[in-house]
Amino acid sequence: MITSLSSSVRRSRVASLGPLLPLTLIMVACGPRRGVTVGDRDDIVVAAEPSLWKQVQDRVNASLQPRLFGIPNSRAFQVTYQDPLGEEWSGPRHNLQVLLIGEPQDAWVVDALARARGAPSVIPPAPALFELEDVWAREQQVMVLLLPPTDPGHYVIDRLGELSAHYERRYREGVVGRMFAEGTGQAPWDTIMGESGFNVLVPRYYERSKHGDVYLFRKTGTDSLETIRHVTVTWRTPIPQDLQGGGMLRLRRQLAAAHFGSRQTVSRRNILASQTTHQGNITYQLLGMWDNPRSSRGGPTRGPFILRAEICQSQDRMYLLDGWLYAPEQNQHEYMVELESIMNSFRCGSARPYTANR
């Protein structure tokens, strides 16, 4: 479990850090000045001793910056290594997200502990993984991986799964928070959709339209930053039998031809299929790429999509939810999390209403 020392541990007995603790307390008492954060929410600066980094570099990069399925040359996060004893460290240490790897007596660890807002009075004994806030910059989040005295490389590799899940969870929470910072602005739509037997939470800045039993939610970008985020909700009743794979894609082709504004073809060779449950309902999902080789934009266009078939037995309906993205040369990770969050908010039948960040 990752511990947030800046908020959960304040006034317990001070753990021993040997001769370094007095220096730490003196630095805290002086009230360190914090700069402005740099970098994006999907950038992670990793600081570690160079010889250790050589041992774990490939595993750290593979775990913390996984590829986004089906999207060429796209990664969820960007990891940048920095030698914390090098001359350039003073700049990268202001990054919004920093991962410190070291022993309790290492200078970069001691400095972080001294500067963190709400300086912890108890430091977990090594090995440990915990979080600090507002260290070298305001609104900064710093993960600290305290190494054991022996076999530190093995310990780093053992904690990568936990670190990866932590960064993805925090990233998703940030995306959802920004999505609904201005509310949903959809009170009339709550009524309309509720009368149709379902509800889905959509940010205020999405355009909404309804064509029969097809509900469309769309956000387009500016000319200088062209994007399309598109979510469709519709249903079939009674529940059809040919749901999986080809049946779902046939329904999607019909929706694209009638409502997407352009044809979208899908190669079945590059699709990730899964089955799960959502709010107790069996749900089939297809994740892949759509393609339009004859786009009106002067060339071929393509992008990722999420397609779900959710079985609502109480209504004898199969709901089809589709979210697709067109965002060339842009951060597709954030947009795909946004589309997925909208689709995750879907409720059918008598399921309780959804609220953001729940």
Q: Is 247's pLDDT higher than 60?
A: yes
* pLDDT tier for residue 23 given thresholds of 50, 70 and 90: very low
Q: Are residues 214 and 285 in the same domain?
A: yes
The residue among 113, 145, 178 that closes a domain is: 178
7: confidence class by pLDDT, cuts 50, 70, 90: very low
Q: Is residue 148 part of a domain?
A: yes
Choosing from 129, 163, 178, the residue where a domain stops is 178
**Residue 337 pLDDT greater than 60, yes or no:** yes
DSSP string, 24-70: HHHHHHT----B--BS-TTEEEEE--HHHHHHHHHHHHHHHSPBPTT
Domain that holds residue 108: 3-178
Q: What is the mean pLDDT of residues 87-93?
A: 95
Alpha helices in 116-224 (DSSP H): 152-158, 160-179, 187-195
Is the Cα dihedral 124, 129, 135, 141 positive or negative? Answer: negative
| Neighbouring C-beta atoms of residue 198, cutoff 10 Å | 22
Read off the DSSP letter of residue 313: G
Cα(52)–Cα(117) distance, integer angstroms: 28
Which one of 178, 206, 233 terminates a domain? 178
pLDDT bracket for residue 222 (50, 70, 90)? low
Domain match, 174 and 206 both: no
Q: Please determine, for residue 58, whether its predicted confidence score (pLDDT) is greater than 60.
A: yes
* Encoded amino acid at 171, one letter: Y
* Better pLDDT: 195 or 58: 58
Beta-sheet strands, E only, within the chain: 3-4, 43-47, 78-82, 97-102, 128-133, 141-146, 198-199, 207-211, 214-220, 228-236, 265-266, 272-278, 281-292, 301-312, 317-326, 347-348
Residue with tokens 């250790």: 52
Round to whole Å and give the CA distance between 239 and 71.
32
Task: Tell me what the pLDDT averaged over the chain comes to.
Answer: 85
Q: Based on the fold, state whether residues 18 and 167 are members of the same structural domain.
A: yes
pTM: 0.81
Q: Assess if residue 156 is contained within a domain.
A: yes
Check whether residue 154 and residue 187 sit in a common domain.
Answer: no
99, pLDDT greater than 70: yes
Regarding whether 266 and 166 lie in a shared domain, the answer is no
pLDDT tens, residue by residue, 271-291: 999 999 999 999 999 999 999
Q: At 314, is the secondary structure helix, strand, or coil? A: helix
Do 293 and 155 belong together in one domain?
Answer: no
Return the pLDDT at 33.
Answer: 64
* 323 lies in some domain: yes
Main-chain phi, psi angles of 104, to 5 degrees: -55, -30
The enclosing domain of 239 has a CATH number of 3.40.1000.10
- Residue 184 vs residue 322, higher pLDDT: 322
d(CA 272, CA 22): 55
Coil/strand/helix, residue 75: strand
Our count of domains for the chain comes to 2
